[in-house]
Chain A
Amino acid sequence: MESINKEKVQEALDLFLNQDVYLHLETTNGVYTAFNDENALSVGAYIRNGKINYSIGKITGVGPYRVGLKIDLGWVYAEGLTDWELDDKGRLLLAGHHADGKLAAALQLSKEPF
């Protein structure tokens, strides 16, 4: 993956517009967060191969970035995105990484199931 280029990511988001696509969305601070610090909360949310169809897909912010997808009756949203890749299967991978390389959020789109 490489640092997000906002224009290129916007072009990539447009490739998935107005069609059924598969979504991977996650965010987490790690299962061991609460184990390492009793006052902390381990939080995370995750969806894999959610089938969506969006009519607007936009990247915003000045970095780290946010991406919002407007679906039929609602929204998909991720923030803290730092890096991107259009992989060899044509999937758009977006992720937010901490400075040490740990993944904190991911939003990915594919025309085939992941």
Chain B
Amino acid sequence: MERHVLVAFPHPDDEAFGVAGTIIHYTQAGVPVTYACGTLGEMGRNMGQPFFANRETLPEVRKKELQNACKVMGIQDLRMMGLRDKTIEFEDEEAIADKLYAVIQETKPSLVITFYPGYAVHPDHDAYGAAMIKALMRLPENERPTIHCKAFSKNCEDFIGKPDVINDVADVLDQKLDTIRAHKSQTEANFKVWDEKIVAQDAELLNWLTKETFWTYKG
């Protein structure tokens, strides 16, 4: 079992679809989990119909959703890193790595979960993952935690192979769905399609939700 898990993603809700079940497994087993969330998703486009937010109120809405999601997952240590949505790739990478390195030094994780730089589609995902890897590479190899990366770009398997970690999270599916639901501003539309499929036990959707895949980063 892990000693401490550090999860690092740039947007509130990045953890929800592909990692929440894994996080819930750890928190249920009593493993402390720290979530270093880079931004508040300030540039999200969905304002609702009817509107629940505007460009200036959205960050506060998403912050509350993130805090609720952490409650559902049992995460007690949420760090909001104060970056701004859609700007991470333009920041000084060393400066972001410094911030993440400080969290690593403080929490001494045995496992880090982040995006696989170059294979995570959104520029913020790639940049935040790259900064995290940079911070981790500052540690001597024998002190470096295990690194599990998320990748989902088209054809990523041509470059990094198949995921070597597949966690079955079917036993905590309800809590995972509640985590996704907590990010209401981002996921309400998903559930319009999903609710029926979940009742009908749609195999494709359930398989996607209950199998969380990771690539162990080897450098």
Q: Which chain A residue lies CB-closest to B122?
A: A31
Task: Report Cα–Cα, A108/B43, bound state, in Å.
Answer: 14
Contact among A28, A44, A114 with B56 in the assembled complex (CB-CB below 8 Å): A114
Q: Which residues of A contact B154 (CB under 8 A)?
A: 35
Task: Report Cα–Cα, A32/B122, bound state, in Å.
Answer: 7
Give chain A interface residues in 97-111, CB to chain B under 8 Å.
97, 99-104, 106, 108
0/1 per residue, A59-101, Cβ < 8 Å to B?
0000000000000000000000001010100010101010111
Q: Which chain A residue lies CB-closest to B55?
A: A106
A1 within 8 A of B: yes
Q: Is the interface of B mostly helix, strand, loop or mixed?
A: loop
Return B20 CB to nearest CB of chain A, in Å. 20
B121 within 8 A of A: yes
Interface residue tally on A, bucketed by range = 20 to 34
* A100 lies within 8 A of B49 (CB): yes
* B121 lies within 8 A of A103 (CB): no
Q: Knowing A35-B154, A46-B86, say if A30 contacts B56 (CB, 8 Å).
A: no
A51 within 8 A of B: no
Interface residue tally on B, bucketed by range = 10 to 19
Task: Report Cα–Cα, A21/B48, bound state, in Å.
Answer: 29
A24 within 8 A of B: yes
* B56 lies within 8 A of A93 (CB): yes
Q: Is the interface of A mostly helix, strand, loop or mixed?
A: strand
* B47 lies within 8 A of A102 (CB): yes
Task: Report Cα–Cα, A103/B1, bound state, in Å.
Answer: 44
Give chain B interface residues in 13-56, CB to chain A under 8 Å.
43, 45-51, 54-56
Q: Which residues of B contact A103 (CB under 8 A)?
A: 45-47, 55
Q: Knowing A93-B55, A101-B51, say if A35 contacts B45 (CB, 8 Å).
A: no
Give chain B interface residues in 150-204, CB to chain A under 8 Å.
153-154, 189
Return A39 CB to nearest CB of chain B, in Å. 13
